Chains A and B, each alone.
Chain A
Amino acid sequence: MNETGTTIRLVDLIGGSDAWGHEQGREIHGKLLKIVEARPAVLVFRVSLDGLQRTDASFPRESVVELARRYRGRRGICLVDVEDPDLLDNWDAAAQRLLQPLFVWQLDGKHRLIGPPPAKGNVEMLEHVMSVPTTTASKASKSLHLKVNNASMKLRQLNDAGYILRREESASSGGVEYSYFRIG
């Protein structure tokens, strides 16, 4: 889990254990948007599904998945506290529909991806980013035996598609270097 994150319990925003429909999805999207905009320094928002019993596919699409799409590449949204994996069928359908990947974190620290899978050529790089606290193009190129340019391109593609995040850091050479990290 990343220390730059904050957790939002979705049922507190919904006011109940069931949620459905475009209208309620838009309403919750508005509430989530306010929370995200009020915390400009926070990069990762963990949406907790604790206590959520039932949703259709429209609600997650209009609320959380749309939020993740809106901030893709700049800020990250992931799901935590999913008690029942069956609940995720509709969330997966929503994420597929909006072509927005979302990571779901389990209590044991393991994760699964819902929504579209990454391009085949970027799978290994994504696994690498998920397995380390942070990485850079030069570090990743060494770990995966790639040229730095190639590693840099893969990381940028994963960031742009919403699988990972990055922030600018000062390089030891004096320039600026991107540090990439998982959404969790």
Chain B
Amino acid sequence: MESHATVALPASWVDARDFDSALTLANDPLVTLPEKVTVAVPAGCKVMVDAALKILCFAHQLRDRGASVAIKFEDGHDGAMGYLNRIGFFDMLDSAVEILPDRPVVSGAVVYRGMNDNLVEIAALRSVARDKDLPARLSDALKNSVASGKAAAKLGRAAFTVFAELIQNVYLHSGSALDGYATLQVYKGGKKAKVVVSDNGVGIIETLRPTLPAKYGKMSDSAVVFEAFQKGLSRHGPGRGCGLKASADHAIKYQAELDVRLPKCRVHLVPSASGYQPHVAFCSDSLPLLHGTHICFDFMFDK
């Protein structure tokens, strides 16, 4: 009989952490590798962009390892499927992934692209075909939807650095044949924005560790990630490696929270007077397997 696992999402807002919980309950599918995996999306489930990109990567990683994958929407074309169609999820999804009841015929992202200031539709990150305007599109969306005047220009410039460095990091570190993705969604009437950059590579820790001095050998993955954002670490030596740190330095000016998910661990960083600090309750070194580096910035704004 075919082995089968179901990743059941809850009937509520679903962010990246909720998706991780669902992976755990499904017995860690990328480790157990059943022949078929179904992601079940119940009525009332609202998928946030950080979870959406992880579902996309999860499906492709399973396909890459020979499993068949289905995503089942209990609400049909309404609800979560309608939203995911609008942000371009199905345009990026491998056509071999089965969609139930059926795949949308028309892409909402293609029809309405660029018409909503609060959204930047999912963009693919391929090192062979760099999307040169992507950092500008992401930072303009953030700037236009949450601020105006001089403050907007300042935010736009800071956000440009954050996105440019993260996207570049995917090109330099991912080492995967599978695409990476970036997207942005503004929530709660402009009070909160999520910016997510995900890839399917080996994870920044895997590329950093072999090149770091011996003292890092004893540190946990989450501690090394923290150092990379706080002090700047690079496998290319001391002259490089300002990318993640530069991102963090700009994002902290806007009190953005930063969530970094690696294959087995998560580091959640919150701003403090002395820079970013790990939020211990949300950090873990024993999560279900999800390949790649998944970075999410949560910008909060007073409106």
A interface residue numbers (CB < 8 A to B): 18, 20-24, 53-59, 61, 84, 86-87, 89-90, 93-94, 97-98
Residues of B229-265 at the interface with A, using a CB-CB cut-off of 8 Å, are: 232, 239-243, 246, 249-250
Complex: A87 Cα to B250 Cα, angstroms: 12
| Inter-chain contacts of B139 with A (CB < 8 A) | 54
Contact in complex: B246, A22 (CB < 8 Å): no
Question: Which of B4-12, B116-124, B152-160 makes up part of the contact surface?
Answer: B152-160
Chain B residues with CB under 8 A of A86: 154, 157
Closest to B168 in A: A21
**Other-chain contact of A18, B135, B168, B242 (Cβ < 8 Å):** B135
B136 within 8 Å of A (CB atoms):
yes
- The dominant DSSP class at the A interface is helix
Chain B positions within 8 Å of A97 at CB level: 232, 239-242
Closest to B157 in A: A54
A94 to B130, CA, bound (A): 23
CB<8 Å pairs between A and B, sample of 17: A20-B168, A22-B168, A22-B171, A22-B172, A23-B171, A53-B157, A55-B161, A56-B135, A56-B161, A56-B164, A57-B242, A58-B168, A59-B164, A61-B239, A84-B153, A86-B157, A93-B249
Size category, B interface:
20 to 34
For B241, the chain A residues whose CB sits under 8 A away are 97
- Interface majority SS (helix, strand, loop, mixed), chain B: helix
Taking the closest CB of chain A, its distance from the CB of B135, in whole angstroms, is: 5
A21 near B171: Cβ-Cβ < 8 Å: yes
CB neighbours of B167 from chain A (8 A) = 21
Total residue contacts A-B, CB cutoff 8 A = 70
The residues of A that contact B160 with a CB separation of less than 8 Å are 18, 20, 54-56
> Is the CB–CB distance between B171 and A58 below 8 Å?
no
- Known contacts A18-B160, A20-B160, A86-B157; A56 and B168 CB within 8 A of each other: yes
Known: A21-B130, A22-B168, A86-B154. 10 other contacts (CB 8 A): A18-B160, A20-B168, A21-B167, A21-B171, A22-B171, A23-B168, A54-B135, A57-B243, A57-B246, A61-B240
Also in contact, A98 and B239, with CB within 8 A (given A18-B135, A90-B246): yes
Complexed CA–CA distance, A54 and B168 (Å): 15
Q: Could you tell me the distance between the alpha carbons of A97 and B164 in the complex, rounded to whole angstroms?
A: 18
The docked-state distance in angstroms from the alpha carbon of A20 to that of B166 is 11
Residue-wise, chain B 128-169 has the 8 Å CB interface mask toward A (1 for contact) of 001010011001000000000000011011001100110110
Query: Roughly how many angstroms separate A69 CA and B132 CA in the complex, as a whole number?
Result: 27
Which residues of chain B are within 8 angstroms of A20 by Cβ–Cβ distance?
135, 160, 164, 168
Query: A59 contacts which chain B residues (CB < 8 A)?
Result: 164
Q: 1/0 per position for B166-188, CB-CB distance to A under 8 A? A: 01100110000000000000000
Neighbouring B residues of A57 by C-beta, 8 Å: 161, 165, 242-243, 246
